Chains A and B, each alone.
Chain A
């Protein structure tokens, strides 16, 4: 499902009308079936059928992904459980190189004959398309790992938690919001388990078990007299965690004058309670005066700006033109990287790619072309130093190995370069949120993500948020509304003047980063501590119709 459709389904006005027909990623299955796990020995046997069939038809390289993708979501509004969906998608995707060209075929017919036929079709497609090539595919060397496995380090498998407990949690979230004066509240718990098996002619057989969770809500309050309405969305982050994410202890809470913020774990009921108060404040908030402001951006907001303005433009496929027809290209062209002095941001800006970060959405042991994952610098002291690459691109930037950024969102999708977790590193000097606010003369403190838009080369962007607080002479003086900031990526990151220290470092992220044709969704996290940006252009988005 496209991210915007999901957000719309779960959060906006038409949610209720559309929910009974909520699209599913796969087949709906009974709950207990989610707890079964396909034996790796069976998957190895099926993989070998595909590897042998492709080789016999002339493939020079083959990889096979057997995937079992489980999704569960519980959807509620006010005092009703609206939907409870359990889905499974199980099948095989076979990718080959023949005559120097890629070919791919996928099937859910998981018998030997069905798999062999799909492998043969993949080879036939590769051969057919080789006439459309300018040069053959060039893969970076990759040693085989033999039979290995990786499991996400979760504490509590969300699929083992009874449905009733989940429904009860959401209904108490809704009750807290309604008791606080909300007119409407939608809440949702979304859980994912990817059981992925990868095999290739490099002699790798990799079994992985990955978990993700996203609890979220959308509170609406209406002023019937004026006909105005406001919403306040949950400040949770989707995480690469189990159900333990919903078990917040005092050490996971950051108390601020404006409310509680969450680090690593989330208290959903508490956030709904404060959300109901804040949505009422939003209705009464002052409309912003457009102009230049110093912005203090919370990690629950900044993750999205990092995602759009740093994560995407440093994807090598975009830089090279492979995404030109859809997501676009990138302003971070190879010459800027080769110069070793392109000032992406100020000296405060260190940005790191990390596919191993515990609890992050992108954490895996191996990527979807069998490369062991790692961590590397993207922006160092403000300078562009690296990109995100996969096996067939590595040679273009002089690498002798892939950086492990390959991902497919399903067995039926072909894997390609996707964003690693890309994060702004915390500041080295001690600095708290309160210090940041104290140091600002005229500014806006923004919490939570909102509207987001950026051009196809990642220069010009505009972001909204959930909560906007006016800062005057070092103090919060009230709430603002109709706020969005517009900037240029390079100008914006060069205006970064201070980042809070590691005590404030938190992850945000998305379940639905869309890219590719046919479009695929990928889940990715972005960490940061609260950061300050000087003199950013703020516009007023209020209109009358």
Chain B
């Protein structure tokens, strides 16, 4: 019941719009169902399933908008929710940034749904976790992990004739494998729209290998080092940068994209020439919705081309203020890379540090995007093209903007969370202190 087809969703939305007496009405209908298992100390700890569906109606009179929602779908309930939204709109203050609803749009059919993933059950999850536990137990290590799957749909209709529908599936898996003494730790983290791309056994073996390999870490002096960031580590850093691609905050002078003396850094060479970043909802390895919450079509967009900032995102309001076309932001970003494997990047490194992932990253200075955080779950010293020994974790203070200027080489991109991102070799990465944490 929680997951409606396009036709079922459209029928409910049409009925709701039919009840509207407001100047304009916009209705969103969405539902999800999914489950999860959490395990630790080599045994299941908690597990659950949840499903829900709800409908939100936004009614506007002039520049006044009210929103109400409901999770019952009979005619009486649907009419009631429209009346409630209309009452609330009358009580609301005028929004000077109000934007009229969009006319009908054309959207590409997204590729975010996979039937097998949608069909996952408690039994499928238990089987997948069992494989992970087996790896840890056989190696006399200890696993703590999390597996979660979801299946959802979202549909939008307004009184000007716009209709959009999308359904998607997702499965996410992460595991931390540690030795019993607590002196070694390894981690993997993957998510896909398609269950068949996820191999919990192989992934758990990588985490176990890192757990064993990180035992006996040596302390080396903090300072500036050449680092090789695995895709997970690179995405931990780069993910913190994308919000800066908002045109309004850049125009207002309060982002790293703001220019001294006013204006934005659009068109500037802000990063190394090897850096190209774009979003594309139709990329088969990183599919995403082809429309955003406003009902705007989302299309392939180049944000950075060979280090030059090519686009900033504009909300509909800010685009109107600035006389440009609105450009939706994307959470799913693709960072281009090269063809080298992680091993090849290591082989070409005379002296450096290999970083599995970062942890507890926080902004220190929004002006320069300076971030602090720590390495975690496998940090290694590289000399003459080889991993020599594990090192103790570091705290870093570094800006992704500075980091993307210090690119030595980029490897082959892989999916990490909402990014397709290559392993990165970066010079002069700033570690500021040591941590005893394992």
Contacts and interface: CB of A to CB of B under 8 A. Distances in A.
A518 B372 CA distance: 24
B372 A453 contact: yes
Interface string B351-374: 000000001111111111110111
A226 B372 CA distance: 25
Which of A18, A21, A125 has most chain B Cβ within 10 Å? Answer: A125
A153 interface: no
A131 B126 contact: yes
Interface of B: 35-52, 54, 56, 66-71, 84, 87-88, 91-93, 95-97, 122-123, 126, 129-130, 133, 142, 144-146, 148, 174-176, 178, 182, 185, 187, 243-244, 246-250, 252-256, 258-262, 293, 313, 315, 318, 359-370, 372-374, 376, 393, 395, 397, 399, 401-402, 432-438
A455 B376 contact: yes
Given A227-B258, A229-B253, A543 B365 contact: yes
Contacts of A167: 93
Interface stretch (A41-49, A103-111, A433-441, A528-536): A103-111
Contacts of A102: 44-47
Contacts of A91: 52
Given A29-B69, A453-B360, A133 B46 contact: no
A518 B262 CA distance: 42
Contacts of A331: 436-437
Given A129-B44, A325-B40, A451-B364, A224 B261 contact: yes
Contacts of A231: 366
A325 B254 contact: no
Interface in A91-108: 91, 101-108
Nearest to A94: B48
Contacts of B434: 460
A331 to B, nearest CB: 7
Which of B47, B252, B366 has most chain A Cβ within 10 Å? Answer: B47
A398 interface: no
A543 B399 contact: yes
Given A543-B402, A545-B399, A517 B365 contact: no
Contacts of A27: 54, 56, 69-71
Interface stretch (A77-85, A341-349, A424-432): A77-85
Given A16-B249, A106-B49, A107-B52, 7 more contacts: A13-B246, A106-B50, A324-B40, A325-B38, A328-B437, A412-B50, A452-B362
Nearest to A17: B315
Contact of A129 (B37, B52, B252, B253): B37
Contact of A29 (B68, B95, B123, B176): B68
Contacts of B146: 325-326, 517
Interface string A266-302: 0000000000000000000000000000000000000
A30 B70 CA distance: 11
A382 B242 CA distance: 44
A101 B84 CA distance: 44
A13 B255 contact: yes
A133 B95 contact: no
B43 A133 contact: yes
A457 B185 CA distance: 12
Interface in A404-445: 412, 414, 416
A27 B248 CA distance: 29
Given A225-B261, A229-B254, A544-B368, A453 B249 contact: no
The 10 A-B residue pairs with the shortest CB-CB distance in the complex, in nearest-first order: A13-B249, A227-B260, A104-B48, A460-B435, A27-B69, A324-B144, A455-B437, A457-B437, A132-B44, A14-B246
Contacts of B69: 27-29
12 contacts: A13-B254, A20-B293, A81-B93, A103-B47, A108-B52, A125-B48, A132-B39, A163-B91, A226-B260, A451-B364, A456-B360, A459-B437
A342 B182 CA distance: 19
Contacts of B363: 451
A12 B436 contact: no
Interface in A315-342: 320-326, 328-329, 331, 333
Given A103-B48, A455-B435, A543-B399, A220 B68 contact: no
A330 to B, nearest CB: 10
Contacts of B364: 451, 462, 464, 484, 541
A325 B249 contact: no
A471 B196 CA distance: 61
Interface in A108-155: 108, 121-122, 124-126, 128-129, 131-135
Given A13-B252, A103-B48, A486 B432 contact: yes
A107 B50 contact: yes
B433 A121 contact: no
Interface in A467-521: 482, 484, 486, 488, 516-518
Contact of B126 (A128, A226, A539): A128
B41 A322 contact: yes
Contacts of B56: 27-28
Contact of B254 (A122, A184, A539): A184
Which of A131, A222, A324, A541 has most chain B Cβ within 10 Å? Answer: A324
Contacts of B133: 132
B277 to A, nearest CB: 17
Given A125-B48, A322-B41, A227 B432 contact: no
A131 B174 CA distance: 20
A133 B44 contact: yes
A539 B432 contact: yes
A435 to B, nearest CB: 31
B170 to A, nearest CB: 12
A541 B397 contact: yes
Contacts of B432: 486, 539
A13 B366 contact: yes
Nearest to B126: A128
A174 to B, nearest CB: 14
A486 B67 CA distance: 46
Which of B50, B87, B261 has most chain A Cβ within 10 Å? Answer: B50
A227 B261 CA distance: 6
Contacts of B393: 455, 460
Contacts of A516: 38
A17 B254 contact: no
A172 B67 CA distance: 26
B402 A134 contact: no
Contacts of B176: 324-325
A414 B365 contact: no
Contacts of B369: 545
Nearest to B257: A13
A30 B249 contact: no
Given A129-B126, A486-B432, A184 B43 contact: no
Nearest to B436: A459
A17 B54 CA distance: 25
B376 A456 contact: yes
Nearest to B66: A30
A84 B93 contact: yes
A542 interface: yes
A460 B395 contact: yes
Contacts of A16: 97, 248-249, 315, 318
B123 A128 contact: yes
Contact of A17 (B93, B126, B249, B256): B249
Nearest to B56: A28
A183 B253 CA distance: 10
B261 A453 contact: no
A124 B435 contact: no
Which of B182, B187, B250 has most chain A Cβ within 10 Å? Answer: B182
Contact of B402 (A103, A125, A459, A545): A545
A125 B122 contact: yes
Contacts of B142: 321, 324
A102 B248 CA distance: 48
A457 B399 contact: no
B342 to A, nearest CB: 23
B362 A451 contact: yes
A30 B243 contact: no
